[in-house]
Amino acid sequence: MPRLSLRLLLAALALLHPGYARAEIPVSIELVLAVDTSLSVDDEEYDLQMTGIVEAFRHPEIIDLIGQQNGVAVTLFQWSNFPDEHYRVPWRLLSDPASVLAFAAEVKALVRSPAHLFTGLGRAMDFGVRLITGNNFAGQRLKIDISGDGRDNVGSLMAPARLRASSQGIAINGLPVMVSTYGLDEYYRDNVIAGPGAFLETAQSYDDFARAFLRKLRREITPHISRLKRPRDRKAARLRMP
């Protein structure tokens, strides 16, 4: 059986039978997309975020880049003062045009969470870490992508959240939207991004979000030449400090 078909079969078995052997499915990248739905984001701005994400995954270059990987596992969740587990796209394994376009369709159909409250960046970061450490994938590169237009205002403990991500080899990348909070790019640089290869991509407005997200996603999934020939040992990573 071809390697790709076997990987897809294992993924299907893991989804249909949670008790199935806990052997993790090797992939090149595990990517968590965290979308800001707090009170500062109106419905039009929310739509611009989601449309930008959908358009990026439909872009021929992104589809081609994903096809060059050994699988890209991706999930998306919404967050305000707390992450909303009920308004998310579960983990999906992307490997070919059909799977990428199916994920884009799920994002397009996702309804906005009704809980438009405060900005809990630290809680969103921690939830992203839990999504990665609790799944059935073994990625060589682990990434959380957080976009938002404000600073944490619920007293989240952001420094420990960043440390927990970094200590497990997880990169947190940031996409601040510069619409109302002065110096938000510097705030994200100092308090949000962390881990191996972490970087910042800035959107000057929500109208600019699609361009910024495409640029960021392209950078995140461009094939990475590495001497590593096997998936990360997640258990060992949990014990390794930065």
Assign residue 71 a region (left: φ > 0; alpha: ψ between -120 and 50; beta: otherwise). Answer: left
CATH number at residue 75: 3.40.50.410
Asked if residue 147 is part of any domain, the answer here is yes
Q: Which range of residues forms the domain containing residue 195?
A: 27-234
The predicted model gives 82-101 an average pLDDT of: 95
Question: What tens digit of pLDDT does each residue of 137-194 get?
Answer: 999 999 999 999 999 999 888 999 999 999 999 999 999 999 988 999 999 999 999 9
Q: What percent of the chain has pLDDT over 90?
A: 76
Bridge partners (DSSP) listed for residue 145: 33, 173
The pTM of the full predicted model, rounded to 2 decimals, is 0.84
Question: What tens digit of pLDDT does each residue of 225-236 get?
Answer: 443 444 444 434
pLDDT category, 6, cuts 50, 70, 90?
Answer: very low
Asked if residue 21 is part of any domain, the answer here is no
Asked if residue 37 is part of any domain, the answer here is yes
User: 103 to each of 54, 94, 96, 115, 201, how far by Cα in Å?
Assistant: 8, 8, 11, 24, 23
CB 100 within 8 A of CB 66: yes
Number of domains in the chain: 1
For residue 88 the two structure tokens come to 């998310």
pLDDT category, 9, cuts 50, 70, 90?
Answer: low
Residues 6+ apart with CB under 8 A from 184: 149, 150, 151, 176, 177, 178
Asked if residue 241 is part of any domain, the answer here is no
Q: What pLDDT does residue 180 have?
A: 83
